[in-house]
Amino acid sequence: MTELDAVIEGTGHFLPSNVIDNTHFESFLDTSDEWIQSRTGIRTRCFAAENETTSDLAIAACAEAMKNAGAGPEDIDLIVLATSTPDYTFPATATLVQNALGIRQGFAFDIQAVCSGFVFALASASSFLQTGAATRALVVGAETFSRILDWKDRSTCILFGDGAGAVVLAAQPRGKSQPRRGILASDVKSDGRYRELLYVNGGVSKTGTVGHLTMKGKEVFRHAVSKLAVSTNAALDQAGLTTSDVDWVVPHQANVRILNALMSRLGLENEKLVSTVATQGNTSAASIPLALSMANSKNLFQDGDIVVSQAIGGGFAWGTCVMRW
């Protein structure tokens, strides 16, 4: 039986046109542009318009990814969409994307692993492709986090933004004389003991409300750096690689301090870090595919580059994917 690799063929992203700078918050919070930048590295973020939904953002990102991959609706037979802010309780937002793009075959579903959702989605989609259950997938992260923010909580509402990113992932025969390509290894973990550190205080079954995000930032920071460093090394080990093989790190864009601390913990130079947090803030499950797509659109990645993406989110849920571009 021919062994298959799950290879990225194209990337796409979409950001709402409503750009919000830090001075926006000065009128109703005790904060300032200097305070926000010094603690988070964030200068601006984008908020969806009142009539823009998570699926709208996802559809635009997917359309661009398909165009860049040279793929039509008839070529896609799997959609895995990571989000914590779906359009509806059901159906899955992925099915809305499927319909809007004219994809009439295959299957589509959502993954809810908060900020680590895209890593979980990549790991899931690559498994389907490598086993032959699907041939070409759209893997998407899309969020409208502005809908679940508490505008009285300056420790959280300044951090988040909206957006979407997507990749086209295709099953390709593994070369016998060449290094493997695509998703080389994934390490995904979760531990529900840490729910109280980062969660939304609402839900269909619990309160019948959407709720608002609540977070204990210092504790999340501590867990994020240590868990992501361990996960990164575990995924690299699975792939038969070490940190010295890494060309690029494209992590979840939560906070510039976390990004810098992670790079230091891994012993990697910041020149290998792809960071978009300054202009997008934390877009949860959308942050990694947004950063991947924006970097790819600038031809940052070269064939054969080792790219590592890692994320941690509420639950806790966290993980790492190692890719050869």
Helix (H, G, I), strand (E, B) or coil at 206: coil
Are the CB atoms for 54 and 83 separated by under 8 Å? yes
Q: What is the pLDDT of residue 319?
A: 98
pLDDT confidence of residue 9 = 98
pTM of the model: 0.98
Per-residue confidence (pLDDT) for residue 30, from 0 to 100: 96
235 CB burial (10 A radius; 0-12, 13-18, 19+): buried
Report the distance separating Cα 312 and Cα 325, nearest Å: 23
Spatial distance between the Cα atoms of 306 and 111, rounded to a whole number of angstroms: 25
Give pLDDT < 70 ranges for the chain. Answer: 1
pLDDT of residue 178: 85
For every residue of 150-184, DSSP letters joined together read -TT-TTTTTTB-EEEEEEEEEEEEPPSSS---EEE
How many residues would you count in the chain? 325
Q: Judge residue 243's burial from the number of C-beta atoms within 10 Å of its C-beta, 0-12 exposed, 13-18 middle, 19 or more buried.
A: middle
Residues tagged active-site: 115, 252, 282
Six-digit token string for 275: 């960071």
Could you tell me which residues come within 8 angstroms of residue 114 by beta carbon, excluding any fewer than 6 positions away? 84, 198, 284, 285, 313, 314, 315, 317
pLDDT tens-digit series, residues 212-242: 999 999 999 999 999 999 999 999 999 999 9
Are residues 25 and 154 in contact, defined by beta-carbon separation less than 8 angstroms? yes
At 177 the pLDDT is 80
Paired tokens of 148: 């679940």
